[in-house]
A = this chain, B = another copy of it.
């Protein structure tokens, strides 16, 4: 999961899914290019999504030829638990 968060593009993907959850690959590609100035290709974004899914930060749901991506911030809880953040 930590390696998944290490890439700036993947973090922007999580930002975009936070703002609008359940996007398809193409939706993400266009919106990332528009609002976040991400120039990556479709394949690059797809591979990033695979990494995020492997890290448990993104879940997917298939419907016909569309695949929707949802953010899951659950794994992030482990960070604050591992290194207690004093308030």
Contacts and interface: CB of A to CB of B under 8 A. Distances in A.
Given A2-B5, A6-B5, A71 B83 contact: yes
Copies of this chain: 2
Interface of A is mostly: helix
Interface residues of A, number: 20
B76 A14 contact: no
A42 interface: no
A64 interface: no
Interface of A: 2-3, 5-6, 11, 14-15, 18, 71, 73-74, 76-77, 79-80, 82-86
A86 B70 CA distance: 14
A84 B80 CA distance: 13
